[in-house]
Structure 1
Amino acid sequence: MNKSKRLVELMMVINSKRVFTAKELADEFGVSLRTIQRDLLDLQELGVPLYSEVGAGGGYKIIKERILPPIAFTENEAIAMFFANQSLQYYNDLPFETDAKSALNKFHHYLTSDVKKRIEEMEQRFVFYTQQRQQSSPCLQLLLDASINQQVVQITYDSIKGKSTRTIQPVGVFSQNGHWYCPAYCFKREDTRLFRADRIIDATIVEEHEGVNLSKFNIHNWSYMGKEPEKVSLKVKLSREGVKICKNDPFLEQSIVVEQDGIGRLYTQITKPDLEYYASFFISLGKHARVEGPEQLMIEMKKILGDLNDIYL
């Protein structure tokens, strides 16, 4: 086995072992102890975070995170990877922000000059715009780790109604319209709730709190862990402008029927807890949406309009 191939295989082996001796590796690769020690020095110079301990219990350990072996990319794959990473640039916070920036810098550093030039040209012609928000979401990494490890978290939540302390078990995190969200089981409500991550101003893992079994739930099917809320039929007549606005909503878009003249009708099922949200939403459309049902939604809209009337008239 030539040296370059041996170094790649050696990197994969020590990633899996984490703790090992030079003799163990020498026996496994069928080379001398001195050869394997030189190989380990070469890997350290390449950036593999190894350190050695002397003595009876000594050996080598890999510190920090595991290091991936070299991966060969075609030119188009390299460009695709660069722009996939760059698409995150408009988020103020990421659960892996430092690592993403580090990976992008490393990736760009080792590209050939002609590929770098092509990327620089493409940066002027191609971009992933994401609605940029000013709010910070400092607990993203903790929430993501807690969802993966099925841990309970105590949070301080700054909602519209004020600050409160909640004990939750996160299902995961997702981004929509520039905001980060964390669906989680809320122990106070004994059901799932959706939390805005930027409104979680503090979070701590609670080791002693017994969690619930969320193994059957993930970021795609978290909505109804407990009793499914009652649904009502939504019926809305939309102008041409109303159709365009509602098509920006991924949930409403699939339920719009557009007629030949461009006006549309919206037929779908919504849950009762969402009535307040949709009341405000359709009021914001003004004359471009006329709600025909359910009655509960129309009552909620009239209540909001009455409150506005008291303020301005």
Structure 2
Amino acid sequence: MPKTERILKVMQRVYERQNFTVGELAEEFSVSYRTMLRYLHELSHLGVPLYAHEGKNGGYSILNTRQQRARTEQTGESIQRIIKPQTLIVGLEMKIPFTAYYMSHALKPKLWQELEQRMAEIPYLRRTSKPQYVAAVLNRQQIYHYVAGMEVTTIRDMPERMVSLTLPTQEYANVYA
């Protein structure tokens, strides 16, 4: 099973169980404790509201609505789980080694800024009241692969130095800032 698919299954299981330990999930998914810990960190970065409980009887749980509302008020972000149909994307990509992941925080805003400036070059943009921006993180083993893009109706006539991506129908984390 590909890593992305496994992480989505872990996310689904986390929402079903509400309270769990890393060891329980690692055993359930037949992965090491360390691997499951990495998956949970990735889910947290994707917006899954995980809360860690310390101590002998510790583990993880999903933040309740009140706690989530407080986080939303603090950060100004709202996170929603959605099932999205197949989506076509055209945009700019960044590929860096995972060991240099920290650099992505400085590079992402520049990527989005360039996309904003070049938006008129993208043919077949999906016309909606607000532009449909999409950020995709792809698993490429040792490479952190990030795509800043726009939803399009078809992938043809690609602008220079842009990439296309087809996201399959599945559940995604939708973050509203």
TM > 0.5: no
| TM class by smaller structure | 0.3 to 0.5
Relative contact order (alpha carbons < 8 A, sep ≥ 6): 1 or 2 greater? 2
If the length of structure 1 is used for normalisation, what is the TM-score?
A: 0.25
Q: TM-score scaled to structure 2, two decimals?
A: 0.42
- Structure number with higher strand proportion: 2
